[in-house]
């Protein structure tokens, strides 16, 4: 139960709320955050009025649905920035974020959700962006990160990582590790090659 939720909420009401959040997370992960509130209510098997009583706006639903992911993401960025070695912090951040993404497909939707009225998510995202900008600045000044690296390169990596399809979750995670290792090498200022993680056999046609 969240701080915003009345303690007197009946068990059936709590069940409805939990089911709405479960459906919202799964739906946003699969279809993006543009799914209508009416569609969320239908999939959760509750009335539209019930949905709006629990979550008065789409922004409120997105904020609550992705709260755990955003907290975890923010903690990873904070730890990376605190690392005295900016390149190590940069690499560790990318490895952890992409591993989280590979394990939880709703993670991508949490990162790209763009509701300025969703104060909690919006503030967390701004904090993450500031942390990442500081980390990349320090890594460039240390001569480890290529000077032309930009935020969009991280977004490209997340898009590519989110598109991995494999036969099992373990294979998807292994494929993600190899992709990330390749990308981190390409981000290096000195372009020194290092051994890659083992290749993963992927269904070629499934990507098209």
- Give the pLDDT band (50/70/90) at residue 5: low
The C-alpha atoms of residue 189 and residue 81 are separated, in whole angstroms, by 19
pLDDT at 13: 76
Mean pLDDT of all residues belonging to the chain: 81
CA distance 102 to 170: 9
Q: How many CB atoms lie within 10 A of CB 109?
A: 23
pLDDT for the residue numbered 201: 72
pLDDT at 162: 83
Locus of tokens 């904070």: 78
Q: DSSP labels for 2-24?
A: -TTS-TT--HHHHHHHHHHHHHH
What DSSP string describes 70-139? HHHHHHHHHHHHH-SSHHHHHHHHHHHHHHHHHH-THHHHHHH---TT-HHHHHHHHHHHHHHHHHHHHH
Q: Does 194 score more than 90 pLDDT?
A: no
Distance, CA of 62 to CA of 25 (rounded, Å): 8
**Cα 85 to chain centroid, rounded:** 24
User: Helix 67-82 and helix 58-65: axis angle, to 10°?
Assistant: 60
How many helices and strands, by DSSP H and E, does the chain display?
10, 0
| Domains, the chain, with CATH or none | 11-65 (1.10.10.60), 67-207 (1.10.357)
What pTM does this model have?
A: 0.71
The pLDDT confidence band at residue 103, using thresholds 50, 70 and 90, is: confident
DSSP helix/strand/coil, 188: strand
Q: Would you call 120 exposed, middle or buried from its count of C-beta atoms within 10 A (0-12, 13-18, 19+)? A: middle
pLDDT tens for residues 123-167?
666 777 888 899 999 999 999 999 999 888 888 898 899 888 888
């Amino acid at each position: 139960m969240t701080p915003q939720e009345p303690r007197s909420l009946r068990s059936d009401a709590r069940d409805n709320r939990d089911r709405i959040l479960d459906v919202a997370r799964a739906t946003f992960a699969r279809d993006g955050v543009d799914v209508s509130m009416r569609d969320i209510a239908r999939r959760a098997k509750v009335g539209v009025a019930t949905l709006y009583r629990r979550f008065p706006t789409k922004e409120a639903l997105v904020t609550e649905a992705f709260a755990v992911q955003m907290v975890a993401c923010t903690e990873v960025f904070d730890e990376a920035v605190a690392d005295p070695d900016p390149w190590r912090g940069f690499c560790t951040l990318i490895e952890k974020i992409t591993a989280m993404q590979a394990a939880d497909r709703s993670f991508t939707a949490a990162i790209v959700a763009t509701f300025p009225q969703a104060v909690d998510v919006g503030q967390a995202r701004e904090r993450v962006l500031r942390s990442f900008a500081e980390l990349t600045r320090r890594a460039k000044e240390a001569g480890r990160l290529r000077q032309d690296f930009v935020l969009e390169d991280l977004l490209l990596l997340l898009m590519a990582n989110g598109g991995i399809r494999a036969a099992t979750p373990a294979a998807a995670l292994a494929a993600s590790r190899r992709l990330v290792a390749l990308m981190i090498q390409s981000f290096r200022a000195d372009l020194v090659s290092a051994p890659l993680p083992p290749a993963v056999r992927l269904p070629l046609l499934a990507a098209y």
